[in-house]
C-alpha cells in the first residue's frame, strides 16, 4: 500500500470525520436554539392524546410503505429509496472495514453481497439522476446542490463497488478515488441536503408528537374505530 | 435592485420571519430533500399536471429561499448553490401572496405524505401570517379578519341579528315539536353544554341551528348558547395571524368559563373545530378547564346512551361522506362521523381515498373568501368532483361549513347531481320523537299561506327557474312578478316597490352586479330586500367583500323549496305562529 493510500484511508478519514462531527454538533446546536412550540390539548370526548404512540408511528413511517399514500402509490420509487440507502450504509461500512478490519473482505459471500448492494444502489443513483433531469416537476424543485449531491453519491457508489474486494493488484487508483471521495463527502455533507438524516429524527418527532396528541397518528384506516 | 433598497414591507416580512421560527418550523424548512414524493398528493398538481409550479415542494421553496438566505448559513454563504434568495419589492410579496393564498388550501395532504415529515401547510400558514402582517392579502381575507377582530365573528353578524335568529329558530322548534318548553336557551349559567356555532349558520343556514336545538331538546340536554363569544370559527387559522387566532379562541373559552359550562360543544365546522379544540389553546396560551367536543361526538353519545332514538330509513338516499381536512388530517376525527352515519342513513358508501387521505373540498384554507382565485379553485376541484362522481351517491355529507360551500360550488361547476348536507341535518331528520309529538299537520297549514300579502319580484333569465321560483312562492301566498333581465328587474322594482327581489347574477344584458349597485344606490328603494340566487361561484365575493349594504340573502342554485321559503321568511322577518 502506498503512503498516499494509507494516508487517505486513515489520517484523512479521521480528520474529515472529526470535522463532520464538529459541524454536526454546531448544526444541532443551531437547530435547538429555536424554541419548540408547546402542544396544549384539552380533554375531549375521546382520549385521543397519545403523543408517544404518535412519535413512534412517525419514526416508523418510513419502514411502513403501506402507511403513506406516496409510498404505496410509488412502490417502485420506494424500492429505489430502500436500495439507495442500503447502498449508503454498505459504502459507509466499507470505508471502515477496509482500514480497520480488512480481513472481513476475505469472506467471498460478504464481498459479493456488498458488491450487489452497492452495485444496485449505483444503478438506482443513475435512475434518480435521469428522473431529476428529465421530469419537469423534479427540475422545478431541484437546486445545484440536489444535482451535485446525487451525482456525487452515484460516482461514490461506483468506486465503492470497485473498492469492495480491497484488491490492489491492478493498481490503487480505485481505492484512492473511493477514500478521497469519502473524505470529501464527510466535509461536504453537513453543508448539503445529504444532511437530511440529521433533521429527520427532529421533524418526524415533532410531527408525530403533534399528530399523536390530536389522535391523527397512528392513521385510521377504518378497521380500528375509536370508542366514544 | 440591491438589498439596501428593499421595500419597507419586504424588510418587515424578513424580520418577522425570524420571530416566527419555531423548531418545528425550522425542521420543515431545512428537512426537504426535494424527492418529489409529495407532488401528486396535491389536488392542484393533479388538476394541473403540466404546471410544476403547483408542486408542494416548489411552493415551499418560494418561502424556503427567504429563510435560507437570511437565517440558514448554507444559504447565506452559497445562495446560488441551494437556491436561496431574498425579497426586495412589494411586487415580489404580491407574487408570494398568490402562492400562499391562491395555490394552496393548507389542506396538509402533502404534509402527511412527506417521508421526511416536512409540514408544508404549517410553513405556508406562517407565510400567510407574515404577508397579512404587512397588509398583503386577498381582499376577502382582509374583510373577514377585520370583522372577526371588530365585531367578534367572521361574518359581521350583529348581536341583535344573532339573538333574533335564535329567537326565530326557537319559535320554529316550538312549533315543530309542539312543546312551549322547546326553546334555545341563551346565557344560562352552569349548564352541562355550551353550544358554539359558525356565523354562517346565522346568516345562511339557520336550519342547522334549529336542527341542533331539536336534538338537544330530544336528548333532554341542559344546554345554552352564549349571547356573545359564540363564534367557534377562527380566521386566524387561515390568515396565519396567531394574534387573531389567540384572541378569538380566548373570547370563546372565557365565555364558557363565565357561564360555568362544563362542556363546549362545537357545531360541525372543520376549521372551527381545529382552531377551537386543537390550535386555540396554543395560540391563546390558555389551559382550558372544560371538556371540548364536536357535535358529532355529542350526537353519537346521545344515541349510545339511549337519549335519542333514530330511524335510519328516514334518510334513504345513497349518502357518502367527505372528510374535512381539518377534522381528519389535523384532529383525527374520522371514525365518529362514519359511526353516526351508519346509524342515521340507510345507504352509506365510502368515497376513495378517504379519512386522512381524503382530498380537500378545494374551499379550505379560507379559499371561499378569496374570489380572485375562484377560477383556479374550481379547476383544482376536478379531483374532488371525480371522487364524488365515482361514489354514485345522491347526497354528500360533510362536517364542515366551508366544505359545504366548497362542495356546493364544485357540484354545480362539474354538473354533478348531488346535494350537500351535514350530519346535524340527517340526525334531526332521523329523530324518532312521535311519542312526544302528536302527529298533527298544523304546521303545514300555517306554512301554506305564510307569504300572503307579500310582493316579490323574481329576476332570472332561465324560464324553468322562473316557473319554479314563481310557483313555490305563489303556493305560499306571495304575489309574484317576473323579470328576465337586470333592467326589467330594476324597472319592476321601481314601479311595484316589492318587499323582495330575488336576483339571479347571470342574466343577459347589463352586468347584474351593476344592477345590484344601482338598486342599492336608489333612495326610494332603500327598504327593498334583495336575495341573490346564483349559480356563479365567483359571486361569493358579495358575501365576503363587505359592502355598505350587502344582499339580505344568498342562495346557491339549485334551491330547494324548504330552503327558499326559509330564506324568504328570514329576510322578510315572517314568523309562523
Ligand atoms: S416536502 Fe417531503 S416529500 Fe416533498 S419534496 Fe420535500 S422531502 Fe420530498
Ligand atoms: S397543503 Fe394541500 S393544497 Fe397545499 S400544497 Fe399541500 S396538498 Fe397542496
User: What does B160-206 look like in DSSP terms, one character per residue?
Assistant: HHHHHHHHHHHHHHHHHHT-TT----BS-TT-SEEEEB-HHHHHT-H
Q: Which residue of B has its CA nearest to A189?
A: B74
Q: Find cell 354533478 and name the residue.
A: B416
End-to-end CA distance of chain A: 71
Collapsed DSSP state (helix, strand, coil) of residue A65:
helix
Same domain, B212 and B113: no
Same domain, B397 and B455: no
DSSP character at residue B107? -
- CA B152, chain centre distance (Å): 16
Residues from chain A that touch B111, judged by Cβ atoms under 8 A, are: 207
State the CB neighbour count (10 A cutoff) for residue A107: 11
**Would you state the pLDDT for residue A46?**
58
CA torsion through residues B278, B281, B287, B289, sign: negative
In a domain, B37, yes or no: yes
Residue A86: is its pLDDT beyond 70? yes
Cell readout for B523 is 333612495
Same domain, B22 and B133: yes
Same domain, B324 and B376: yes
- The domain that holds B516 is classified in CATH as 3.40.50.2300
**Would you state the pLDDT for residue A226?**
39
CB contact under 8 Å between B282 and A40, yes or no, is: yes
CB contact under 8 Å between B277 and A44, yes or no, is: yes
In a domain, A212, yes or no: no
How many structural domains compose chain B? 4
**Would you state the pLDDT for residue B519?**
82
Distance (Å) from CA B108 to ligand 2 centroid: 6
Q: Is B34 on the interface with A (CB under 8 A)?
A: yes
Non-local (6+) Cβ contacts of A147 within 8 A are A129, A132, A133
CB of B535 closer than 8 Å to CB of B556: yes
Q: Which numbered ligand comes closest to the C-alpha of A199?
A: 1
In a domain, B205, yes or no: yes
Task: Express each pLDDT in A199-221 by its tens digit.
Answer: 999 999 999 999 999 999 999 87
Among A36, A82, A143, A227, the residue to mutate for chain B (most B Cβ within 10 A): A143
Strand partners, B396: B320, B420
The CA distances from residue B345 to B198, B424, B512, in Å, are 25, 12, 41
Measured between CB atoms, which of B52, B119, B339 is closest to A137? B52
How many structural domains compose chain A? 1
Q: Is A137 on the interface with B (CB under 8 A)?
A: yes
**Would you state the pLDDT for residue B442?**
47
In a domain, A142, yes or no: yes
Q: Is A29 on the interface with B (CB under 8 A)?
A: no
In a domain, A216, yes or no: no
Q: Is B26 on the interface with A (CB under 8 A)?
A: yes
End-to-end CA distance of chain B: 71
Give the sheet arrangement for strand B318-322, strand by strand. Answer: B347-349, B318-322, B395-398, B419-421
Final residue in a domain of this structure, among B397, B430, B463: B430
Same domain, B11 and B32: yes
Residues from chain A that touch B119, judged by Cβ atoms under 8 A, are: 203, 207
Same domain, B11 and B132: yes
Could you give the CA distance from residue B68 to residue A187 in angstroms, rounded to a whole number?
Answer: 20
Lining ligand 2 with CB less than 6 A are B 41-42, 44, 56, 59, 104-110, 120-121, 360
- Helix then strand then coil, in percent of chain B rounded to 5, is 55, 10, 35
Non-local (6+) Cβ contacts of B188 within 8 A are B223, B224, B259
Q: Is B301 on the interface with A (CB under 8 A)?
A: yes
**Would you state the pLDDT for residue B439?**
47
CB contact under 8 Å between B115 and A196, yes or no, is: no
Distance (Å) from CA B87 to ligand 1 centroid: 23
- The answer to whether the peptide bond before residue A191 is cis (omega within 30 degrees of 0) is no
**Would you state the pLDDT for residue B1?**
52
**Would you state the pLDDT for residue B546?**
52
Pairing of strands B263-266, B193-196: parallel
Same domain, B358 and B395: yes
Q: Find cell 397512528 and name the residue.
A: A218
Could you give the CA distance from residue B124 to residue B99 in angstroms, rounded to a whole number?
Answer: 9
* ipTM higher than threshold 0.90: yes
**Would you state the pLDDT for residue B411?**
96
Helix axes B8-20, B56-71, angle to 10 degrees: 90
Of all protein residues, whose CA lies closest to atom 3 belonging to ligand 2?
B104
**Would you state the pLDDT for residue B251?**
96
In order, the DSSP letters of A137-194 are HHHHH--HHHHHHHHHHHHHHHHHHHHTT---TT-SHHHHHHHHHHHHHHHHGGGSGG
Q: Is A202 on the interface with B (CB under 8 A)?
A: yes
In a domain, B509, yes or no: yes
Same domain, B28 and B97: yes
**Which residues in chain B come in under a pLDDT of 70?**
1-3, 434-448, 537-538, 540-548, 576-577
Task: Express each pLDDT in A92-104 by its tens digit.
Answer: 999 999 999 999 9
Could you give the CA distance from residue B289 to residue B287 in angstroms, rounded to a whole number?
Answer: 6
In order, the DSSP letters of B130-159 are HHHHTT-S-HHHHHHHHHHHHTSSTT---H
Distance (Å) from CA A157 to ligand 1 centroid: 24
Lining ligand 1 with CB less than 6 A are B 32-38, 56-57, 114, 116, 118, 120
- The domain that holds B346 is classified in CATH as 3.40.50
CB of B499 closer than 8 Å to CB of B529: yes
Collapsed DSSP state (helix, strand, coil) of residue B553:
strand
Q: Which numbered ligand comes closest to the C-alpha of B61?
A: 1
Final residue in a domain of this structure, among B430, B462, B478: B430
- Domain around B169: 159-304
Same domain, B229 and B178: yes
Which H or E element spans position B519?
A: helix B512-521
Q: Which numbered ligand comes closest to the C-alpha of B384?
A: 2
Same domain, B103 and B222: no
Q: How confident is the model at residue A227 (pLDDT cuts 50, 70, 90)?
A: very low
Distance (Å) from CA B106 to ligand 2 centroid: 5
Task: Express each pLDDT in B122-134 by its tens digit.
Answer: 999 999 999 999 9
Of all protein residues, whose CA lies closest to atom 6 belonging to ligand 1?
B32
Q: Is B145 on the interface with A (CB under 8 A)?
A: no
In a domain, B577, yes or no: no
The CA distances from residue B40 to A61, A98, A187, B3, B55, in Å, are 19, 43, 35, 36, 8
**Would you state the pLDDT for residue B548?**
63
Give the sheet arrangement for strand B193-196, strand by strand. Answer: B223-224, B193-196, B263-266, B291-294
In a domain, B152, yes or no: no
Q: Which numbered ligand comes closest to the C-alpha of B64?
A: 1
In a domain, B14, yes or no: yes
DSSP character at residue A226? P
In a domain, A207, yes or no: no
**Would you state the pLDDT for residue B255?**
97
- Domain around A81: 3-14+75-199
Task: Express each pLDDT in B19-58 by its tens digit.
Answer: 999 999 999 999 999 999 999 999 999 999 999 999 999 9
User: From the CA of A123, how many Å to the nearest CA of chain B?
Assistant: 17
CB contact under 8 Å between A204 and B57, yes or no, is: no
Final residue in a domain of this structure, among B107, B137, B167: B137
Mean pLDDT of chain A: 93
The 10 Å CB-count burial string (b at 16+, else e) for B132-154 is bbbebbbebbbbbbebbbeebbb
Which is the closest atom of ligand 1 to the Cα of B117? Answer: 2
In a domain, B145, yes or no: no
Same domain, B467 and B533: yes
User: From the CA of B429, how many Å to the nearest CA of chain A?
Assistant: 22
CB of B493 closer than 8 Å to CB of B525: yes
Q: Which residue of B has its CA nearest to A210?
A: B330
**Would you state the pLDDT for residue A47?**
55
Same domain, B99 and B53: yes
Cell readout for A93 is 461500512
CB of B359 closer than 8 Å to CB of B385: no
State the CB neighbour count (10 A cutoff) for residue B122: 20
In a domain, A52, yes or no: no
Amino acid at each position: 500500500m502506498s503512503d498516499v493510500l494509507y494516508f487517505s484511508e486513515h489520517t484523512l478519514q479521521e480528520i474529515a470525520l472529526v470535522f463532520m462531527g464538529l459541524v454536526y454538533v454546531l448544526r444541532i446546536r443551531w437547530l435547538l436554539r429555536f424554541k419548540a412550540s408547546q402542544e396544549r390539548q384539552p380533554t375531549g370526548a375521546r382520549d385521543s392524546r397519545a403523543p408517544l404512540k404518535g412519535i413512534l408511528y412517525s419514526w416508523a413511517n418510513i419502514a411502513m410503505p403501506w402507511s403513506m399514500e406516496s409510498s404505496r402509490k410509488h412502490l417502485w420509487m420506494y424500492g429505489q429509496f430502500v436500495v439507495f440507502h442500503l447502498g449508503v450504509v454498505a459504502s459507509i461500512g466499507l470505508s471502515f472495514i477496509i482500514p480497520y478490519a480488512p480481513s472481513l473482505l476475505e469472506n467471498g459471500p460478504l464481498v459479493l453481497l456488498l458488491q450487489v448492494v452497492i452495485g444496485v444502489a449505483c444503478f438506482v443513483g443513475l435512475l434518480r439522476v435521469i428522473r431529476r433531469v428529465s421530469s419537469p416537476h423534479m427540475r422545478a424543485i431541484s437546486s445545484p446542490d440536489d444535482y451535485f449531491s446525487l451525482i456525487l453519491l452515484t460516482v461514490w457508489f461506483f468506486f465503492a463497488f470497485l473498492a469492495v474486494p480491497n484488491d490492489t493488484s491492478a493498481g490503487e487508483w480505485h481505492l484512492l478515488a473511493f477514500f478521497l471521495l469519502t473524505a470529501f463527502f464527510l466535509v461536504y455533507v453537513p453543508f448539503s441536503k445529504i444532511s437530511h438524516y440529521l433533521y429527520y429524527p427532529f421533524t418526524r418527532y415533532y410531527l408525530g408528537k403533534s399528530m399523536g396528541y390530536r389522535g391523527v397518528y397512528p392513521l385510521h384506516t377504518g378497521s380500528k374505530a375509536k370508542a366514544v | 435592485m440591491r438589498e439596501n433598497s428593499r421595500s419597507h414591507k419586504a424588510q418587515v416580512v424578513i424580520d418577522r420571519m425570524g420571530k416566527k421560527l419555531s423548531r418545528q418550523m425550522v425542521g420543515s424548512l431545512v428537512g426537504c430533500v426535494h424527492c418529489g414524493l409529495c407532488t401528486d398528493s396535491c389536488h392542484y398538481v393533479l388538476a394541473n399536471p403540466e404546471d410544476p409550479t403547483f408542486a408542494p415542494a416548489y411552493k415551499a421553496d418560494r418561502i424556503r429561499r427567504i429563510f435560507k438566505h437570511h437565517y440558514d448559513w448554507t444559504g447565506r454563504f452559497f445562495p446560488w448553490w441551494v437556491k436561496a434568495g431574498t425579497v426586495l419589492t412589494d411586487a415580489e410579496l404580491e407574487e408570494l401572496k398568490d402562492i400562499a393564498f391562491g395555490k394552496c388550501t393548507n389542506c396538509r395532504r402533502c404534509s402527511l405524505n412527506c417521508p421526511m415529515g416536512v409540514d408544508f401547510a404549517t410553513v405556508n400558514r406562517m407565510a400567510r401570517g407574515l404577508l397579512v402582517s404587512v397588509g398583503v392579502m386577498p381582499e376577502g381575507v382582509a374583510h373577514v379578519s377585520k370583522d372577526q377582530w371588530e365585531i367578534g365573528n367572521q361574518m359581521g353578524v350583529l348581536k341583535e341579528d344573532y339573538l333574533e335568529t335564535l329567537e326565530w329558530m326557537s319559535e320554529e322548534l316550538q312549533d315543530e315539536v309542539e312543546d312551549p318548553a322547546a326553546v334555545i336557551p341563551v346565557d344560562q349559567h352552569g349548564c352541562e353544554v355550551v353550544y358554539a356555532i359558525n356565523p354562517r349558520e346565522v346568516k345562511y343556514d339557520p336550519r342547522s341551528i334549529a336542527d341542533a336545538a331539536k336534538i338537544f331538546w330530544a336528548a333532554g340536554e341542559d344546554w345554552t348558547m352564549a349571547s356573545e363569544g359564540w363564534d367557534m370559527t377562527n380566521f386566524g387559522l387561515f390568515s396565519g395571524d396567531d394574534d387573531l387566532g389567540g384572541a378569538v379562541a380566548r373570547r370563546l373559552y372565557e365565555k364558557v368559563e363565565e357561564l360555568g359550562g362544563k362542556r363546549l360543544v362545537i357545531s360541525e365546522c372543520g376549521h372551527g373545530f381545529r382552531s377551537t379544540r386543537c390550535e386555540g389553546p396554543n395560540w391563546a396560551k390558555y389551559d382550558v378547564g372544560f371538556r371540548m367536543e364536536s357535535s358529532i361526538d355529542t350526537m353519537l353519545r346521545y344515541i349510545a346512551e339511549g337519549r335519542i332514538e333514530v330511524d335510519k330509513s328516514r334518510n334513504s338516499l345513497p349518502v357518502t361522506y367527505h372528510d374535512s381536512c381539518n377534522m381528519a388530517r389535523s384532529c383525527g376525527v374520522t371514525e365518529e362521523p362514519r359511526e353516526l352515519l351508519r346509524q342515521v342513513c340507510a345507504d352509506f358508501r365510502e368515497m376513495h381515498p378517504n379519512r386522512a387521505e381524503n382530498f380537500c373540498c378545494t374551499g379550505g384554507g379560507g379559499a371561499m373568501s378569496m374570489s380572485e382565485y375562484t377560477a383556479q379553485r374550481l379547476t383544482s376541484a376536478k379531483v374532488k368532483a371525480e371522487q364524488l362522481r365515482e361514489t354514485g351517491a345522491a347526497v354528500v355529507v360533510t362536517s364542515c361549513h366551508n366544505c359545504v360551500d366548497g362542495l356546493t360550488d364544485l357540484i354545480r361547476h362539474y354538473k354533478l347531481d348531488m346535494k350537500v348536507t351535514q350530519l346535524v341535518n340527517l340526525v334531526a331528520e332521523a329523530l324518532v320523537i312521535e311519542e312526544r309529538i302528536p302527529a298533527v299537520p298544523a304546521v303545514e297549514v300555517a306554512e301554506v299561506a305564510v307569504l300572503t300579502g307579500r310582493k316579490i319580484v323574481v329576476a332570472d333569465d332561465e324560464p324553468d327557474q322562473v316557473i319554479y321560483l314563481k310557483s313555490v312562492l305563489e303556493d305560499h301566498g306571495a304575489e309574484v312578478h317576473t323579470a328576465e333581465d337586470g333592467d326589467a328587474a330594476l324597472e319592476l322594482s321601481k314601479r311595484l316597490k316589492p318587499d323582495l327581489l330575488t336576483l339571479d347574477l347571470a342574466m343577459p344584458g347589463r352586468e347584474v352586479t351593476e344592477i345590484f349597485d344601482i338598486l342599492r344606490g336608489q333612495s326610494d328603494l332603500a327598504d327593498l330586500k334583495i336575495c341573490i340566487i346564483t349559480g356563479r361561484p365567483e359571486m361569493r365575493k358579495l358575501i365576503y367583500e363587505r359592502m355598505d349594504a350587502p344582499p339580505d340573502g344568498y342562495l346557491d342554485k339549485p334551491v330547494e323549496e324548504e330552503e327558499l321559503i326559509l330564506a324568504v321568511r328570514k329576510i322578510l322577518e315572517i314568523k309562523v305562529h
